[in-house]
Amino acid sequence: METSLSKEKLEEEIAKRVREILELLGENPDREGLVETPNRVARAFLEMTSALRTHQPEIKVFKLGEDGVTYEEDQIVLASDIQFSSLCEHHLLPFVGKIHVAYVVGEEGKVAGFSKIIRIVNYYASKPQIQERLVSEIADALMQSDLHPKGVIVIGDAVHMCSYVRGVKDKEAKLLSIASRGVFKTNRALRNHVFRMLEVSNRRGFRLG
Ligand SMILES: Nc1nc2c(ncn2[C@@H]2O[C@H](COP(=O)(O)OP(=O)(O)OP(=O)(O)O)[C@@H](O)[C@H]2O)c(=O)[nH]1
Ligand SMILES: [Zn+2]
């Protein structure tokens, strides 16, 4: 649903409801520690759902080959270990983990700005959903972008707080989900190649700082 309320008004309206929830839970929302809580919660939820009220960021692309350098055709590009947090649409609790995005350079020879891939992940993560839809949306966004890749694969690997802190309370279980598009859908060897690249990326143990 589109909302025409200003950010301030939205925060005020959400905070009012959070206050009511606190009261229903048996808390005293006027006690010192809770006075600012409804507004903090409102701001946190607005931040974690910002994609509902904003447009997808631009995916800036660069054309390879224009500088006379021959690039390897069908080069696979992997952006790995992109940390994300999102909200599960069933409980509105966070699920947090990593997303890996790989694509095969298309016939136009375009590559995406590295940070733009991270921005796209963060954008689609910023709303309530299930993890399977998150990886699918990221894959579709890249396929439909100016990048025009031959294929995209998006792997999500996350811990869901709704299963960690409540319900089954499993502290170890993780959800792994994979969305494949284009050549990755049909070519199993190519998919396996990405999995091997991820293994290398995990093994290299390269950390700055
Ligand atoms: N596949 C998938 N399931 C999810 C995701 N996030 C939450 N869920 C699951 O959504 C389901 C909702 O099930 P319900 O039975 O309606 O909710 P519930 O009574 O709170 O279920 P429990 O968590 O089993 O206590 C649960 O099994 C959650 O683990 C997700 O991203 N992907
Ligand atoms: Zn959940």
Mean pLDDT over each residue of the chain, to the nearest integer: 94
Closest CA to 79 of 160, 149, 161: 149
Distance between CA 116 and CA 120 in Å, rounded? Answer: 6
Q: N- to C-terminal Cα distance for the chain?
A: 43
Whose alpha carbon is nearest atom 2 of ligand 1? 130
CA triplet 98, 99, 104: central angle to 5 degrees?
150
Q: What is the pTM of this model?
A: 0.92
In angstroms and rounded to an integer, the radius of gyration of the C-alpha atoms of the chain is 21
Report pLDDT for 65: 75
Report pLDDT for 68: 73
DSSP lists the bridge partners of residue 173 as none
Query: pLDDT tens for residues 138-152?
Result: 999 999 999 999 999
User: By CB neighbour count within 10 A (0-12 exposed, 13-18 middle, 19+ buried), where does 10 fall?
Assistant: middle
Q: Is the CB of 136 inside a 6 Å radius of any atom of ligand 1? A: no
Residue 128: which pLDDT band, with cuts at 50, 70 and 90? very high
Mean pLDDT along residues 100-119: 95
**Please, how many CA atoms are within 13 Å of residue 88, restricted to the half-sphere of its CB?**
15
SS3 assignment, position 5: coil
Specify binding-site residues for Zn(2+).
88, 91, 162
Query: pLDDT tens for residues 58-102?
Result: 999 998 877 777 776 689 999 999 999 999 999 999 999 999 999
pLDDT exceeds 80 at position 23? yes
Distance between CA 98 and CA 120 in Å, rounded? Answer: 13
SS3 assignment, position 154: strand
DSSP letter string, 76-98: EEEEEEEEEEEEETTT--EEEEE
Q: Is the CB of 89 inside a 6 Å radius of any atom of ligand 1? A: no
Q: What percent of the chain has pLDDT over 70?
A: 94
Q: Is the ipTM of this complex over 0.85?
A: yes
* Pairing relationship of beta strands 110-112 and 175-182 according to DSSP bridges: unpaired
Q: Is the CB of 132 inside a 6 Å radius of any atom of ligand 1? A: yes
Ligand 1: which of 86, 87, 90 to mutate, most ligand atoms within 8 Å of CB? 90
Q: Kindly give the distance from the C-alpha atom of residue 188 to the centroid of ligand 2, in angstroms, as a whole number.
A: 31
Mean pLDDT along residues 162-191: 96
Report pLDDT for 201: 85
Report pLDDT for 207: 58
What domains lie within the chain, and their CATH numbers? 7-48 (1.10.286.10), 59-203 (3.30.1130.10)
Closest CA to 85 of 29, 125, 37: 125
pLDDT exceeds 70 at position 1? no
Q: Kindly give the distance from the C-alpha atom of residue 145 to the centroid of ligand 2, in angstroms, as a whole number.
A: 30
Mean pLDDT along residues 16-23: 98
What ligand has the least distance to the C-alpha of 167?
1
Specify binding-site residues.
88, 91, 162
Q: Kindly give the distance from the C-alpha atom of residue 90 to the centroid of ligand 1, in angstroms, as a whole number.
A: 6
Report pLDDT for 169: 97
**Please, how many CA atoms are within 13 Å of residue 174, restricted to the half-sphere of its CB?**
10
